[in-house]
Structure 1
Amino acid sequence: MPEKVYSLKECMKHVDEADMRHFVAELETGYLWLSRNRQYFRGYCFFAAKRQARELHEMPSDVRNRHLIEMSLVTEAVQLACNPKKMNVAFFGNLWAHVHWNIIPRYGNDPLPEDSIWTLDRKLIESYFLSNVELEQLAADIQKALTSLAKRDRIEIKLADGKAATS
């Protein structure tokens, strides 16, 4: 059976029904976009693998290693762009059995800073949506940080505007 490779739109549809306004960048192994409805934690992103894998250990080791490096780079870019107190990174795949990461900035005004975000009322977490202007600015801030980090680490990325940031 041929290997399944997901498109960006398939990934966004599966995870939180985001649209192209939320897209930030494409890396070699995955896609990065801002969560459509979880911006209560400003900068909440998803990073999904392109190639189908239910679990990390199901990925070929070279792809898995590259994906983890890219996930770390994405997390660092969100940290730099949003300046949270702490970054949380979560991998579940219970609703969509595919490798994808929740990248969650946590701030000083967090109502439960020592708990998982899932202890908060889901209606609260999913209650804040960014305007188009706010989305564009946040995506641009993350892209700027990601571009700088990609150059530092010699990783090629494609930004939402179609521009490539290369080594």
Structure 2
Amino acid sequence: MLLLNRHVEHMADLPLNVQEEVFGDCARAANAIRAVFGPVRINYECLGNQVAHVHWHLIPRHADDPEPRQPVWGWGPERLRGHASEARRDEIVRLIRAALDKAC
């Protein structure tokens, strides 16, 4: 997830140069996720329906996804890959940060 570091409810309320920076950040994060996990696709979601703050979900999609053409939001817990332990989440963060650092 990418969070804007100031409160804005709508992407369109941002100055154009900041919108471009946000999209650039999304692309860099997606490239890092691709380098670490090797997904076949990245889904980008910026909805704002539940949390009225500009933020992006970057969702890696894999060849073995149960419904590869559907959004993940409707998947029940039985279809999700499960929750990662805190240690695994820390490792994922480390790997993505390393991929981001390598790209810069």
TM-score when normalising by structure 2:
0.88
Percent identity reads 23
The structure, 1 or 2, with the larger RCO (C-alpha pairs under 8 Å, 6+ apart) is 2
Between the aligned partners of 1:68 and 1:92, the Cα distance in structure 2 is 15
| CA RMSD, Structure 1 to Structure 2 (Å) | 1.7
Residue matched to 1:139: 93
Instruction: Check if 1:72 corresponds to 2:7.
Output: no
Instruction: Check if 1:60 corresponds to 2:15.
Output: yes
Aligned-residue offset at 1:127: 7.3
Between the aligned partners of 1:72 and 1:81, the Cα distance in structure 2 is 14
Deviations 1:15-34 (A, max 9, x none): xxxxxxxxxxxxxxxxxxxx
Equivalences, count: 104
Between the aligned partners of 1:126 and 1:98, the Cα distance in structure 2 is 25
Residue matched to 2:51: 96
Instruction: Check if 1:119 corresponds to 2:74.
Output: yes
Between the aligned partners of 2:70 and 2:89, the Cα distance in structure 1 is 27
Give the match's secondary structure for 1:88. strand
Residue matched to 1:130: 84
Which letter maps to 1:140? R
Deviations 1:65-93 (A, max 9, x none): 11111111111111111111211111100
Q: Is the 8 A contact 2:66 2:79 kept in 1?
A: no
TM-score when normalising by structure 1:
0.57
Between the aligned partners of 1:116 and 1:94, the Cα distance in structure 2 is 15
What 5-or-longer segments of structure 2 have no aligned partner?
A: none
Q: Is the 8 A contact 2:36 2:95 kept in 1?
A: yes
What 5-or-longer segments of structure 1 have no aligned partner?
A: 1-45, 152-167
Aligned-residue offset at 1:120: 2.0
Structure (1/2) with the larger helix percentage = 2
Between the aligned partners of 1:134 and 1:108, the Cα distance in structure 2 is 22
Aligned-residue offset at 1:126: 6.3
Aligned-residue offset at 1:131: 1.6
Give the match's secondary structure for 2:95. helix
